Structure 1
């Protein structure tokens, strides 16, 4: 897709690292995310992608070093719930829904937590509409499809004033048809001006939705650029396949 970015940087990451004893999971990672941009992050297993999301969101741990700014405000030492309320939201690889509650009740809980006060029902219905879940509002969340559960996690993250949405492997467990529907949802959200960062192993999805891509290997940024350039880079091919491109 054609890159369209505003000049305003919403998320700034500078030399961010995280160590666990002697193991360095993320090594001095630096990048910016611009307003209304979709940034894709790829890399082989163990590259540090999800750990990076943990550092950005403060859940369940923060960075060992470096600096993270959300719309000009330092957040790397803030608690996860404060970062969330400032507008940096995330989803997780595993389903994070309350299976015994309805789809609407799940969205209402998110709205009550993030907004509170009046308008909770209206906000819950609004995010269900944005994610195409209104028809399932009364369904038990534990009974809906894998794709619908992923949409429900996204719906909860969209409550209130969202600055940056982090999606952690949203295409995991989806077939090609569902991946296409997910990509359409990401494109629709992006078209409204929402800034999105997507970790994904499904490279075809990143090629479709991302304005720019980063590939991480061994906790470091290996290469960054337009999706078509990144995916053709011999270093990326080697990282994924263990051999350089011919």
Structure 2
């Protein structure tokens, strides 16, 4: 008899013939985002504004609110206005990143007045890597060699020396193929990732499951680190 057998109390589960399947909670970009954030510490990347980062989570935003317009080719407030300090990966915890203590935490409601959507009387100084869908930051433009060029070179070097991929998620391969097939002729895309929406973003490359892009808006020097699994819509 398979699966169940009869006894005086009715039917009972036969644990030897059925395997118990628990739902696996995926954390698709934790290790990849770690690698991407660690890459920012390279001495070759000069001009990053580490005091004003934006972190986009599944339910809330830290360091920027959602705007009703597309200033700078995306829908979030300029990181230089409300961004929070990025202190680095938490050396005592594998699942957290450290932030400067901040109260700039916002509901994902479009509003051009940040105080209207700010969570009152609330502060934090850590964020879960498993909740992180995208990171946005500005950098200072260098006419001799722009950070975007240096970052592209570092991404190329990363892929030449490292082929190990630690996370396997359901949608990443298809999303990546869709973007990089088009990338052969045009490396500008429109995309949404969680609460972030951006137009004409330039694809610089990727670190495993994290896509790296830059803004092409005039006088906007901005980088996006985006979890591929968080991307919902793509346009060219």
Query: Higher relative contact order by CA 8 Å / sep ≥ 6: 1 or 2?
Result: 1
Structure 1 or 2: more strand by fraction:
2
Structure 1 length as normaliser, TM-score? 0.29
Structure 1 or 2: more helix by fraction:
1
